[in-house]
């Protein structure tokens, strides 16, 4: 079977770009060319370009992985996104990406792009752990190997913050306006977090550079939402059947997608609002809603599934008792939220239940379960702090925390940047206070939770129940 390319004769049922890709010039550099970007920001940009054409082509950059960029180039920078539901499949070939590179192979080319005035937006989906964030201080983790390397050798960076700072330094030296830094990762107030990290590294390097970034730069916060499972051989076979061509970058996703952005850009942006993006003055209410309702419930579902042998989110949602637990968690999380303009929180929760149960989406609980030490502080622990501060008992968040700890104690190989510490803590669990070794780890739990014995007791009681659940489901 032929490989997807510009010469592929696609079926009429496939949605294709309606603009002239040969006229498209780069304007966006995206760091972290993974599945989520392809199914979210690239699709929104594709839709925006169809509405109002402009120089907003995307160059996709992978910091480490070679294969996605090689596949991208082999397919004339085209790939398909299949939105799946019980009603059927909608297939789109995305044309907004026009180039790609891997920083590990060609860091100099990435720096050239960062310095290029044509690049006006640098967007990011590199996952929470890639930023070198110290959760205790909110600044750079000066012990993080990549952070240490980029501070000591700033002109040859290897990490995302190092690349951004060096790119901005090159533009500062050339008298060029900075690019807008558009973080699309699940960090609370993600624009402010990335700005703080960039400013700290720039200040260490050159206070004048930091002052220039502070005066001229822009770091809008965003909220992104679309469920995008990791691609499988089954999804690739499905894409081949629908396209009549092989697509090694094909993705399955859900029909729903959402993007909320603070409208602060240095040198313009695509007409994303025509594609359905909501531009707001303050993204924080939307961001907190998504982190605590969708992401928090997702993490709980993931650990519940891993403990009971359920491989997919849809499998967990097929068990009525688990659905009751998910609803209870979301109802508790909703109580910690301020009003969200334009959003009916009760309806949003019901929509999430429906999305999680989508029978056509094979979202692995094991995929969601990774990097819990990086995800749970904003998804679960911050909500627990607010719930307790309001005079409630934080029980739902104690349950979710207990699920995570039980998962850590029953899983041989966990994927987490602090895996060694977490597994060591699991070996020190005792019957009297089984959660204590995890609370002793620095930079994971907020002080308000560490110092709350009643909430910790709730976790210990839940741990006993979940351990029994795991043993009952074990083969």
- Same domain for 167 and 67: yes
Residue 38 sits in the same domain as residue 121: yes
The pLDDT tens digits for 405-445 are 999 999 999 999 999 999 999 999 998 899 999 999 999 99
Do 265 and 293 belong to one domain? no
pLDDT confidence bin for 113, thresholds 50/70/90: very high
User: Does residue 320 have a pLDDT over 80?
Assistant: yes
Strands 180-183 and 26-31: unpaired
d(CA 117, CA 106): 20
Same domain, 255 and 319: no
| Same domain assignment for residues 297 and 389 | yes
- Which residues make beta-bridge pairs with 83? 90, 253
Handedness of CA 238, 244, 249, 255 (dihedral sign): negative
Asked whether residue 12 is domain-assigned, the answer is: no
1 falls within a domain: no
Q: Which of 280, 296, 318 is the last residue of a domain?
A: 280
What range defines the domain where residue 166 resides?
21-280
Given a cut of 70, whether residue 474 has pLDDT beyond it is no
Is residue 136's pLDDT more than 90? no
Q: Is residue 318 located within the same domain as residue 260?
A: no
Residue position matching structure tokens 């942006």: 269
First to last CA, the chain: 42
Q: How many domains does the chain have?
A: 2
Which stretches within 153-295 are classed as H helix? 160-174, 190-205, 207-216, 233-243, 284-289
Mean pLDDT of 5-29: 97
Confidence of residue 170 (pLDDT cuts 50, 70, 90): very high
Of 184, 171, 467, nearest to 307 by C-alpha is: 467
pTM: 0.93
- Of 343, 412, 422, 339, nearest to 375 by C-alpha is 422
Could you tell me if residue 113 is inside a domain? yes
Among 280, 295, 319, give the residue marking a domain's end: 280
Domain assignment of residue 10, yes or no: no
Q: Is residue 4 in a domain?
A: no
Q: 340 and 314: one domain?
A: yes
Q: What is the pLDDT of residue 475?
A: 63
Residues 262 and 363 in one domain: no
Q: Kindly state the DSSP code that residue 21 receives in the 8-state scheme.
A: G
Distances (CA, A) of 212 to 204, 264, 442: 14, 17, 34
Q: Please tell me whether residues 264 and 353 are part of one structural domain.
A: no
Looking at residue 131, what DSSP letter applies? G
- Residue 373's contacts (CB-CB under 8 Å, 6 or more residues apart) are 416, 417, 418, 422, 444
CATH number where 95 lies: 3.40.50.720
**2 in a structural domain:** no
196 and 204 in contact (C-beta within 8 Å)?
no
Distance CA 355, CA 330 (A): 14
CB 314 within 8 A of CB 358: yes
Residue 350 sits in a domain of what CATH number?
Answer: 1.10.1040.10
Q: Is residue 16 part of a domain?
A: no
pLDDT at 432: 81
Are 214 and 340 contained in the same domain?
no
pLDDT in the model for residue 102: 97
Is residue 218 located within the same domain as residue 356? Answer: no
Could you report the per-residue pLDDT of 289-316, keeping only the tens digit for each?
Answer: 999 999 999 999 999 999 999 999 999 9
Q: Which of 434, 457, 435, 453 is nearest to 444 (CA)?
A: 435
Q: Are residues 261 and 288 in the same domain?
A: no
pLDDT bracket for residue 370 (50, 70, 90):
very high
Q: Edge-to-edge strand order for the sheet containing 180-183?
A: 97-102, 57-62, 26-31, 121-124, 180-183
The stretch 122-146 carries a mean pLDDT of 93
Average pLDDT over residues 155-179: 97
pLDDT tens digits, residue range 198-252? 999 999 999 999 999 999 999 999 999 999 999 999 999 999 999 999 999 999 9
Q: What is the pLDDT of residue 224?
A: 97
- Of 1, 53, 5, give the one whose Cα is nearest residue 249: 5
260 belongs to a structural domain: yes
According to the model, what pLDDT value does residue 106 have? 95
Average the pLDDT over 354-378 and give the result.
Answer: 96
Spatial separation of the C-alpha atoms in residues 220 and 401, rounded to whole Å: 31
Q: Considering 280, 310, 335, which residue would you say is the last residue of a domain?
A: 280
Determine what percent of the chain is predicted with pLDDT higher than 70. 99
């Amino acid at each position: 079977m032929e490989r997807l390319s510009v010469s592929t004769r696609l079926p009429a049922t496939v949605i294709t770009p309606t603009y002239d890709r040969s006229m498209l010039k780069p304007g966006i550099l995206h760091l972290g060319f993974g599945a989520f970007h392809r199914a979210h920001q690239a699709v929104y940009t594709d839709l925006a370009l169809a509405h109002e054409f402009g120089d907003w082509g995307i160059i996709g950059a992978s910091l480490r992985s070679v294969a996605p960029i090689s596949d991208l180039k082999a397919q004339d920078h085209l790939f398909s996104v299949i939105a799946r539901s019980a009603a059927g499949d909608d297939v789109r070939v995305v044309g907004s990406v026009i180039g790609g590179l891997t920083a590990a192979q060609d860091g100099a080319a990435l720096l050239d792009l960062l310095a290029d005035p044509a690049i006006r937006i640098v967007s990011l989906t590199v996952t929470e752990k890639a930023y070198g964030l110290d959760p205790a201080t909110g600044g750079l983790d000066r012990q993080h190997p990549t952070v240490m390397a980029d501070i000591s050798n700033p002109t040859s960076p290897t990490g995302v913050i190092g690349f951004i700072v060096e790119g901005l330094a090159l533009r500062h030296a050339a008298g060029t306006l900075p690019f807008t830094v558009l973080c699309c990762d699940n960090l609370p107030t993600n624009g402010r977090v990335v700005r703080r990290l960039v400013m700290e590294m720039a200040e260490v390097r050159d206070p004048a550079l930091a002052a220039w970034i502070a005066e001229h730069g822009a770091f809008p916060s965003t909220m992104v939402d679309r469920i995008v499972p990791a691609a499988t051989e089954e999804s690739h076979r499905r894409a081949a059947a629908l396209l009549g061509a092989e697509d090694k970058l094909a993705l399955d996703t859900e029909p729903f997608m959402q993007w909320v952005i603070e409208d602060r850009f240095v040198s313009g942006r695509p007409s994303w609002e025509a594609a359905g993006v909501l531009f707001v003055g303050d993204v924080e209410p939307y961001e907190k809603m998504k982190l605590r309702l969708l992401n928090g419930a997702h993490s709980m579902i993931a650990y519940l599934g891993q403990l009971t042998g359920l491989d997919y989110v849809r499998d967990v949602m097929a068990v009525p008792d688990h659905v009751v637990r998910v609803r209870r968690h979301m109802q508790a999380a909703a109580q910690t939220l301020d009003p969200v303009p334009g959003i009916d929180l009760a309806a949003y929760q019901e929509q999430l239940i429906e999305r999680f149960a989508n029978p056509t989406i094979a979202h692995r609980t094991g995929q969601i379960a990774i990097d819990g030490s990086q995800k749970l502080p904003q998804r679960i622990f911050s909500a627990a702090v607010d719930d307790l501060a309001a005079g409630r008992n934080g029980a739902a968040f104690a349950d979710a925390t207990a699920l995570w700890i039980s998962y850590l104690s029953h899983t041989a190989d966990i994927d987490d940047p602090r895996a060694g510490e977490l597994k060591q803590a699991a070996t020190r669990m005792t019957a009297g206070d089984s959660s204590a070794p995890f609370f002793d780890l620095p930079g994971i739990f907020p002080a308000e939770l560490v110092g709350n014995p009643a909430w910790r007791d709730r976790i210990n009681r839940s741990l006993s129940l979940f351990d029994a659940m795991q043993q009952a489901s074990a083969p």
